[in-house]
Amino acid sequence: MAGLFDPLTIRGTELPNRIVLSPMSQYRAVDGIANDWHFAHLSRFALGGVGTVMLEATAVSAEARRTPGDLGLWTDAHAEPLERIVEFLSSNGSVPAIQLSHAGRKASERRPWHGETPLDDEDVELRGESPWPSFGPSPVAYSAVWPEPIEMTEGDIASVVGDFAAAADRAQRVGLRALEVYAGHGFLQHQFLSPIANQRTDRYGGDFYGRARFALETAEAIRGVWPDEFPLMFRVSVTDWLDDGLSVEESIELAKQLRDRGVDVIDCTSGGIGGDRAVRFPLGEGYQVALSEQVRRGAGIATMAVGMIWDASHADGVIRNGQADLVAIGRELLDEPNWAHHAARQLEVDSSHSLWPPESGWWLGKRQRAIDKLGLRP
């Protein structure tokens, strides 16, 4: 069985190892445009040996943004600064990937450290950031403090599907080689999938197949422009953790339907649909790995496990035991961008710092030999 440091070829693309930077919004873009912050932030992980570096949730239109600081890809001007980032990631051995997103009823939100609540006049005064109208499958608010979204017409749905495809096309033109659709954590794609947010009675609502139509049409539209040799992934909240929410069984069926439309990997997360009811999460190390395992076995598709994965042996075991094909690491990589290099050493895949860039690896290897010889450090 393959382990954490074995490459994985999906279609014509080789991912150098099984470690993926989980997409993490930085809230630092201006009008959706990337800048030096994104370059510096993402570059660390390529230098740190992460096989696939995934850019954060990137809005497919201006109103698709969650916060005023979200990255976007709705014009060619948005694509331009990504080129330098993508080129750096590629030339340092990582596969550059991007997550495309639409916030739906969770649009027009304050950054986490400004409260994670809807923007209002106070934000205009404090930061010059005005709220904008939000859209959703049904006029059902995310929670009591959120506004009701505008119910999308079939025309609106078709236009958002087109926005995803247009952004995917820009993504491949700047050299991105893997693409993920954000269909989890309560954002627009998830809002359509979950009966908690989708109360439509037309062909985009109702039973599971109605609720899945938007996601399936998005997958088809993206596959129409996204090169055949590049992986396409979907991040799905496999369960809402609510009896009347999206279930694991439905997500397995969704995975099969997506697989038949050219999706290669399901990135298995959970929760986030909102509502004012308490949700009981079994939070702990690798708490969503079991969901990945269920989707992988149930749908016969490659999966990515995510959520509180921080130990190298555990991550390696998840791959070796067939619970996932990839692991996405978020906060642990923020804490230690060189986590992959340390994991390789811990797993005895790289005892001589040969996976590090030589600018640091050569010195660290030399120091290690001195340490070992003199018995200076355990």
Shortest separation between residue 331's beta carbon and ligand FMN, angstroms: 3
The residue among 93 and 330 lying less far from ligand FMN, judged by its C-beta, is 330
The residue among 70 and 217 lying less far from ligand FMN, judged by its C-beta, is 70
Helix (H/G/I), strand (E/B), else coil: 85: helix
Shortest separation between residue 155's beta carbon and ligand FMN, angstroms: 28
Shortest separation between residue 24's beta carbon and ligand FMN, angstroms: 4
The first and second tokens of residue 202, run together, are 């037309």
Work out the burial of residue 268: count CB atoms within 10 Å of its CB; fewer than 13 is exposed, 13-18 middle, 19 or more buried. Answer: buried
The residue among 158 and 334 lying less far from ligand FMN, judged by its C-beta, is 334
Helix (H/G/I), strand (E/B), else coil: 302: strand
Element containing residue 55 per DSSP (H, E): strand 52-59
The residue among 89 and 353 lying less far from ligand FMN, judged by its C-beta, is 89
Shortest separation between residue 368's beta carbon and ligand FMN, angstroms: 28
The residue among 235 and 259 lying less far from ligand FMN, judged by its C-beta, is 235
- Please give the C-alpha separations between residue 310 and each of 22, 24, 41, 101, in angstroms, as whole numbers: 12, 16, 19, 26
Q: The tokens 């509502």 sit on which residue? A: 275
* Residue number with the smallest Cβ distance to ligand FMN: 330
The residue among 303 and 353 lying less far from ligand FMN, judged by its C-beta, is 303
The first and second tokens of residue 125, run together, are 């005064």
Shortest separation between residue 70's beta carbon and ligand FMN, angstroms: 8
Return the beta strands (E) in 111-237 as ranges: 135-136, 150-151, 178-183, 232-237
Shortest separation between residue 66's beta carbon and ligand FMN, angstroms: 8
The footprint of ligand FMN (CB under 6 A) covers 22-25, 56-57, 99, 182, 185, 235, 269, 306-309, 329-332
d(CA 312, CA 46): 18
d(CA 53, CA 323): 21
**Phi (first) and psi of residue 319, to 5 degrees:** -75, -50
Do 5 and 344 meet the contact criterion of CB atoms below 8 Å apart?
A: yes
Q: The tokens 């139509």 sit on which residue? A: 213
Shortest separation between residue 20's beta carbon and ligand FMN, angstroms: 10
The residue among 5 and 27 lying less far from ligand FMN, judged by its C-beta, is 27
